Amino acid sequence: MTTVPEVPAVEALDERPVRHGLLRYAATKAGGALLSIAMVIVATFFLFRLLPGDPVRALAQGRNMTPEQLDLERARLGLDKPIPEQFLHFVSQTLRLDLGVSYEYKRPVLDLIGERIGSTLLLTGTALVMAVSLGLWQGARAGWKPGSRFDKISTAISLVLWSVPTFWLGLLLLMVFAAGIGPIPGIFPTRGSSSVDKPAGFAGVLDVGEHMVLPCLTLVAVVYAQYLLVMRSSVIDEVGQDYITTARAKGLRDDEVRRKHAVPNALLPTVTLVFLRIGFVVGGAVTVEAIFSWPGLGQLFYQAIRVPDFTLMQGTFLLITVSVIVMNTLADVVYHLLDPRVRSA
Amino acid sequence: MRKLLAVLAALCLLAAGPGTAVAAQPGQKKVIKIGVTQSVDSMNPFLAVRLVTGSIQRMIYGFLTVPDSKTLQPSPDLAESWTTSPDGLTWTFKIRQAKWSDGQPITADDAAWTFNKMMTDDGAKTGNGPAVENFQSVSANGQELTIKLKTPQASMLDNPVPIMPKHVWEKIKEISKYDGETYPTVGSGPYVAVEHKKGQFVRLEANPDYWRGRPKIDELQIIFYDNPAASIVGLKKGDIDLIGRLNPPDFESLKGDGNIVQWNTQGRRATYLQINHGATTSDNKPIGDGHPALKDPRVRTALHYAIDKQKLVDEVQNGLARPADGSIIPPLYKDFFWEASGAEKVTFDLAKANKILDDAGYKKGPDGVRTMPDGSRKLQFRFSIHTDTPIEEKLAEYLTGWFKEIGITLTTKRLDSSKFTEETGTTALFDIAISGWSVNPDPEEVLGTHLCSRRPTATGEGGGTESFYCDPTYESLYLQQQKELDRTKRADIIKKMEERLYVDAPVIALYYPNDLEGYRKDRIAKITPIPEDKGLLYGGSGYWPFYTLEAVSTDAKAGGGSNAGVIAGVAAGIVVLALGGFFLAWRRRSASDERE
């Protein structure tokens, strides 16, 4: 009898600090993230100035330029000023969300990113969703009965795909499914995100879809393994737990125990992984975009490195790092929200 | 799960409907697709620097002159005719009576505005600034354009500046910030740009008002491939119809394809070795860390004798090149090409190379490596090449082998391209480097890269040298050819310059790589190279091949085939997936039923 009034009291005691704790936790994490971002901004500036190569000469691309013209270019790019001044300028610009003007395209970096970000999000977003769903589903099934034939095959396939170089796999898919080999006809396009004479309306959507198949497949193949493996080991951990035995003892169907009890708990460790990947999704997949000439941020970054176009590299690099930091922070907070064990720790 | 799959399959069937409808559209328009491996940097000709953009500009805009399709000599384009004052300083061009693609008349004022803009606005200098550097003033009077020069300039007729329509471009406030993305563009070339999807393609339509007459095809698409291997696949599959600038392995992979014509002809490039023969800045101060032995012309000549150019052609270039017995202007340019003969000609002869070095006092040590006559340093040179270029790796292997035979050690140094340009063109931190240049119909530019003034400044900046060369004989010949307006006499002077480079050997020409291209004969019925007898297609100068291009009639097999195939493929794939999913779900259900 005495325990009955105590229960709400305990809950109240438990609840309040948790809510406050969450806020405080989120604030601390956000603070940490801001600090990281500040450090990234500083690092970006110096990192790209340490790289070899004189951007002005590189821009000239072997054309003859008189010293006067080179000086003019230097002045235009602000490279004639002392490093501390360049640094202050860079920081104040970045804080105002101005990423500068691309050396080579002579246009604001932010505009160039804006033009490309859509197709990157489309490709990597779709791939992420597919990789996550496939990886988690297959991982859960594999982990539920470790050692089974399904488990052995899934683990083997994922490990092979995980270790295959992306570039090689992409080229292989391109050779087989775009060019066609033997009895396999070449059906998919060799490049880009749409045909030059892209039809309007739904046929246009289909056109983009058909261009997306190979790059998307490559991305899914290389990233889904990590979800599979994490989910698998996480489910294996859960299988031994008492609550699973209890659920089985209640007479629930095996299938139901897995789906309703084991999987939800096993999902937790994958949260961080999913969020981290979202961070990378913004940056695109440099290799995959380069193989399939996919006009996204990854391709932009790849081309910027080849010039080298410092402002463009700086801008895309900043965007990618900042989104990874932000997503990482979000992952921490969401995790905190989802998992009571982290809260009490 | 089953429901989801059913929805997917239904969607797929729905999709197949409109998709096939599109594919069935009759292909009345004659379209030719060109694959390129460089994307467009800017559609504003005042700003663009990339090669691909230059080629596209050649098709959209008129120039004062174009290389003649047979002789490659300057021939009339927007300028119908021209005269030069006796002192070579005043050039008068008569501008053709023609129309811009928007119907406005073309006048000399357009040309004058274009040049004056570049001379007065720093922002407009980015693309072609050097072309107007020697201009004193430019003025227009009706159809007559007058250009006054600071010093005589024989290459005046090879002016690389596209003439822009004043009435369109004068409205743009800041040229340096304008992206030029307004379509259709207003131009005076055979094509009009109608669409540019960044990083993907540029679409050009035939200009019906073009002064030579409308091109025979309706549309030209320049399609960008980030990955050269994918572009080869694209050509084989028919996604593109023509591709230029192939390397030998890619070119050979096209062999045996009945639909593809392999285009193998003389190229416009020369591949040569650049030797750090004592690099100096423009105020004659030594710069860099080149090996002192390379200052000795005898050592350079010995190196030259130790190179089997024919073997390099056969085994490094797969036979798709011509060994160089001359200088840096390839034989494609018959007028200016010079080749060594007689005693002057250097042929592969290791014994002779060894003898030259023995006589010059570079003694072999017990390890077989020679040392400087004063014993201070061994003859160990670095060879700078670009990272990830298999051909240069292979070249380095061969050179290392031969040089070892004459007691010289060669170690390969791999650099990424910007570092490479810096070390071999500005800081001179190299011994021997791979080099090469694409030569224009007027060779002045490539000859100019060996001038004293092109060396970096005292502060170690800029320039644009290809050799750190500075030689009074060469310098005076350069000035002579610049003033010589008689083409034959000028060519003779230029040949003397080539000879000087050959004998003094600050650079050693190895071979002239062929121009390797490929096109689909089921799509392209006729294409005239430039020069017409045995010239280049995409890689050539000017728009000639793309103006004369004739497409195979598209009525029979209009492009739709692949699209329909894809849709069938996707549908089949989804059906298989759906069946598989259904089977799995069914098995799972039955299994759990059994358990219950």
- pLDDT exceeds cutoff 60 at B1: no
Chain A residues near residue B593 by CB distance under 8 angstroms: none
How far away is chain B from the Cα of A206, in angstroms, using its nearest Cα? 7
Spatial neighbors of B424 by CB under 8 A, at least 6 apart, are B274, B384, B430, B433, B435
pLDDT of residue B580: 66
- In this predicted structure, the answer to whether residue A317 has a pLDDT above a threshold of 90 is no
Distance CA(A308)–CA(A312), nearest Å, equals 9
Locate A18 and state its tokens: 């948790």
Average pLDDT, chain A: 82
- The yes-or-no verdict on residue B185 having pLDDT over 90 is yes
CB pairs under 8 A between A and B: 195
- Chain A hits for B227, CB-CB cut-off 8 Å, are 191, 290-293
Considering only the beta carbons, identify the residue of A58, A71, A189 that sits closest to B239.
A189
Arithmetic mean of pLDDT, A189-211: 87
Question: Could you give all domains of chain A from N- to C-terminal order, each with its CATH number?
Answer: 16-51+99-344 (1.10.3720.10)
- On whether the CB atoms of residues A283 and A271 are closer than 8 A, the answer is no
Q: Report the Cα A240 to chain-centroid distance in Å.
A: 33
Q: Tell me which long-range contacts B21-28 makes (C-beta under 8 A, separation of at least 24).
A: B21/A203, B22/A199, B22/A203, B22/B560, B22/B563, B23/B559, B23/B560, B23/B561, B23/B563, B23/B564, B23/B567, B24/B560, B24/B564, B25/B558, B25/B560, B26/B555, B26/B558, B27/B554, B27/B555, B27/B558, B27/B559, B27/B560, B28/B554, B28/B555
B-facing residues of A in 113-142 (CB < 8 A) are 115-116
Q: What is the pLDDT of residue A73?
A: 72
Q: What is the mean pLDDT of chain B?
A: 87
Q: Which residues pair with B92 in a beta bridge?
A: B83, B146
Cβ of A114: how many Cβ atoms within 10 Å? 10
Unique residue bearing structure tokens 């960008």? B224
Residue A299 CA to residue A301 CA, distance in Å, equals 5
Confidence grade of residue A249 (pLDDT, cut at 50, 70, 90): confident
Closest partner residue to B130 among A64, A190, A307, by Cβ?
Answer: A64
pLDDT of amino acid B307: 97
A63, A105, A290: residue with CB nearest B226: A290
- pLDDT at position B536 over 70: yes
Does the pLDDT at position B303 exceed 50?
yes
How far B69 CA sits from the closest chain A CA (Å)?
A: 25
Question: What CATH number was assigned to the domain covering residues B31-241+523-551?
Answer: 3.40.190.10
| Touching B: A residues 79-98, CB under 8 Å | none
Helix (H, G, I), strand (E, B) or coil at A89: helix
Q: Which residue has the higher pLDDT, B553 or B189?
A: B189
Residue B6 has pLDDT above 70, yes or no: no
pTM assigned to the model: 0.83
Q: What is the pLDDT of residue A95?
A: 87
Measured between alpha carbons, how far is A127 from A125 in angstroms, rounded to an integer? 5
Q: What is the pLDDT of residue B320?
A: 95
A316 touching B, CB under 8 A? no
Query: How far is it, in rounded angstroms, from Cα B480 to Cα B483?
Result: 5
How confident is the model at residue B567, as a pLDDT?
A: 55
Mean pLDDT computed over A28-32:
88
ipTM over 0.85: no
**Residue B100: pLDDT over 60:** yes
Average pLDDT on A282-301 reads: 85
Domain ranges of chain B: 31-241+523-551, 269-514
Q: Between the CA of residue A293 and those of A133, A300, A303, B229, B237, what are the distances in Å?
A: 26, 10, 11, 11, 16
**Å between A145 CA and nearest CA of chain B:** 14
- Asked if the model's pLDDT at residue B17 lies above 90, the reply is no
Q: Picking from A65-69, B186-190, B388-392, B405-409, which range would have the lowest pLDDT averaged per residue? A: A65-69
pLDDT (tens digit per residue) in B353-394: 999 999 999 999 999 999 999 999 999 999 999 987 889 999
Cα distances (angstroms) measured from residue A43 to each of A29, A48, A87, A321, B476 = 21, 8, 11, 11, 51
Cβ–Cβ below 8 Å for B122 and A193: no
Which residue did the predictor score with more confidence, B575 or A150? Answer: A150
**pLDDT at residue B316 is higher than 60:** yes
Please give the residue that has the higher pLDDT: either A286 or B596. A286
Architecture of domain B269-514: Roll (3.10)
Q: Between B90 and A20, name the one with better pLDDT.
A: B90
H or E stretch covering A36? helix A3-50
The mean pLDDT of B541-564, rounded to a whole number, is 68
| Share of residues in chain B with pLDDT > 90 (%) | 69
Fill in the amino acid letter for A236: I
Distance CA A60, CA B49 (A): 8
Q: What pLDDT score does B94 carry?
A: 97
Closest-CA distance of chain B to residue A64, Å:
5
Query: From the list B133, B225, B563, which residue is nearest A293 (CB)?
Result: B225
Residue B19, number of CB atoms within 10 A of its CB: 26
Strand partners, B204: B193, B220
* Lowest model confidence (mean pLDDT) among A28-37, A152-161, B202-211, B556-565: B556-565
pLDDT band at residue B2 using 50, 70 and 90 as cut-offs: very low
pLDDT for A14 beyond 70:
no
- A196: nearest CB among B125, B129, B221: B221
What is the DSSP code (8-state) at residue B522?
A: T
User: How far is the C-alpha of A124 from the C-alpha of B349, rounded, in Å?
Assistant: 58
Check residue B590 and give its pLDDT: 47
pLDDT interval class at A67 (50, 70, 90)? low
Percent of chain B with pLDDT over 70: 88
